[in-house]
Structure 1
């Protein structure tokens, strides 16, 4: 049964009834969401300038009408609460949750700007590598078995079971780009043979992707955001705000980390093909974000894990090394799926010149493969930056 979606006028009545504004006579409501899954509105008071965000989930995708588990709204709410607790201010503050209507009312982050668009413009904030790595440090390891009690961790795994949205990732990210069984991949006709030879027919690559897929499906390591691309990260001079954790579940930490690294790589690859002035700053951002994340993973292990049994140095090295390898691997799968799959990013689609687009596609395919196939060998950000610059 379709849920009762609120209209703009009904949302105004809804926030008035819940007393979010002292003066409710001069409120306005506009829809600001451009996504495919939820409805997002901004309600503001013309007099005071105060504003809030109202987000409502439906049981169907907006574009196709495909059914989607409405429980994702509660998962998003619980994820935001968890992330805010572990790293206050890094996500929008939640003011109210209505489970019956699948409505979340939260902080308006209009003073922050979409990171994907900012990187495209060359607006690279000095704090960015530190802020991104700090978010990963403070939201991932604290949600593992080594910090939480065994019972609390298992109850969390149960609370964040997210089959429908995990299925989207397992298909669109970790299956279809390598096995086009639904015929939904979007590949320029100039590159069809190249993709067939270098992706579909590369048995070694597919074996490694299957390992990463198996890890994604079976490794309930920590509570992850699950869709941590640069379109879900907002930034200004003061820091970052991370939104939309509706894909959250207990999975491998490297998936979140790799998504961050992979999405910075799109801006860098775009800059390399265009040969513009962003190159040096984006090289630095990618290298520093990788290196700072790795350093902070070790630091987080020492800071948050108190049980002496887990302080075995050999185990720590093995554990973090596996997370780092996962991160490089999932960065590669994010890069390849955005280039070959049907969910593109602006850094790719904005290139209208046919020759430049072909060069970008080939660069991204080869870079993604490098990260997947060499994920256990790569140790530093400079190795990654040097490789992409020499493609």
Structure 2
């Protein structure tokens, strides 16, 4: 058996099984199997199962470079950040994250609940499954993790210590580059579908007003340490089943603008909408699924607003938070940032390096180009009109308007 107490190395499946035995996670008589199941861009994920006692856990190990590209050199300290934030989120939003059992700073790995009875939400949405409780679940998670880690609730000295604890420069740099910078110029690292290149050039890169707004948003992201973010809250970072929602993979966590997490959720629901629109052949089934997503997007925004107002009244400790009109001002800034980030996420997944299967799995070339045109149009509108987008109905109005415009333009 290898020594796991001396220095880091990237584990194989055999190593992960031996590691589970070494830290005594299973009884002596356990019969272990291991499979590496990671399909993300950064880490190695091992499922260890005791087939004799029907028990299983997940070991997630952070490597020194991203799996998506050797260009991204990353500190394995992100695994420490992930384990600590999961522990905090487990307290703030119980029931909505997996339980962490162990963190190992030498092997840079975290041991946590196995959620095999759940399904990755993006995968489920690609099958056009519906989850009526999702909006209620995710809005509770967002309010509890964003408001309850802000200066509104947390003592300012304690909050500044949390900012230090979750400083995350390497992962933030990826976001700063892939989300806020590279989509807005002809960056060599961008990967654009051939049929969409001219539309991107004309409507994104040549739009000086839009490019200026992206610069403003980037510097807000760099400087606004508002709430402790998940930092990468797309549908690939959510495990789901009919009655349960679990948020995973918070390794991009840091203190930033609260709207960043909410906007990521909404944008990825819009990607699911685009997929359903262009891949479901049966008209009745398509309409039913798209209506479900419209309702879900509206509910995420509106339930977040309602729960945020209530949680503010129950939890705010900062004196000035009680001034007339301040809560409304603060919430407006979050909703503004939510709209902007929804737009940024839509643009970067179409233009930039990291794609989403919702779009890339659309096999018909004309349909994919139209889907991308809609996403780009919606994203641009959210960024430019972010000050006026406040309700769930506002978000849907932008989406449906872009659908009509794009279809007429074909």
TM-score normalised by L of structure 1? 0.96
Q: Report the CA distance between 1:165 and its aligned residue.
A: 0.6
1:288 aligns with 2:299: yes
Within the candidate set 125, 137, 160, 1:131 is matched to 137
CA distance in structure 1 between the aligned counterparts of 2:196 and 2:176, rounded to whole angstroms: 24
* One of 333, 342, 348 as aligned partner of 1:322: 333
> Is residue 2:249 matched to residue 1:244?
yes
Aligned length: 389
Does 2:45 align with 1:40?
A: yes
SS of 1:291's equivalent in the other structure is helix
Query: Retained in 2: the 8 A contact 1:3–1:59?
Result: no
Offset of residue 110 of structure 1: 0.7
How far is the alpha carbon of 1:308 from its aligned partner? 4.0
Deviations 1:338-384, CA, capped at 9 Å, x for gaps:
11112111111011211111111111110001111111111221222
Partner of 2:209: 204
Shift of 1:241: 0.5
Distance in 1 of aligned mates of 2:8 and 2:70 = 13
1:294 Cα deviation from its structure 2 partner: 2.0
- 2:245 and 2:87 map into 1 onto residues whose CA distance is 16
**1:144 touches 1:153 (CA, 8 Å); kept in 2?**
yes
TM-score by length of 2: 0.91
Distance apart, 1:68 and its partner CA:
1.0
* Unaligned segments of structure 2, at least 5 residues: 1-6, 404-410
Match of 2:234 among 229, 233, 240: 229
Aligned residues: CA RMSD? 1.5
Among residues 47, 50, 65, which one is paired with 2:70 in the alignment? 65
5+ residue gaps, structure 1: none
Structure 1 runs of 4+ off > 6 angstroms? none
What SS does structure 1 have at the residue aligned with 2:335? helix
1:238 & 1:206 partners in 2: Cα distance?
Answer: 42
1: CA distance between counterparts of 2:18 and 2:124?
35
1:268–1:144 distance in 2 versus 1, CA, 3 Å:
same
Counterpart-to-counterpart distance in 2, 1:365 and 1:103: 38
Aligned residue among 80, 104, 109 for 2:110: 104
Name the structure 2 match of 1:26. Answer: 31
Counterpart residue number, 2:56: 51
Q: Which residue, out of 177, 183, 193, partners 2:183?
A: 177
The one-character-per-residue Cα deviations of 1:63-107 (angstroms, maximum 9, x if unpaired) are: 533421121111111111111110112111000111111111111
CA distance in 2, matches of 1:296, 1:269: 28
Q: How far apart, CA to CA, are the structure 1 residues paired with 2:56 and 2:251? A: 23
Offset of residue 291 of structure 1: 1.3
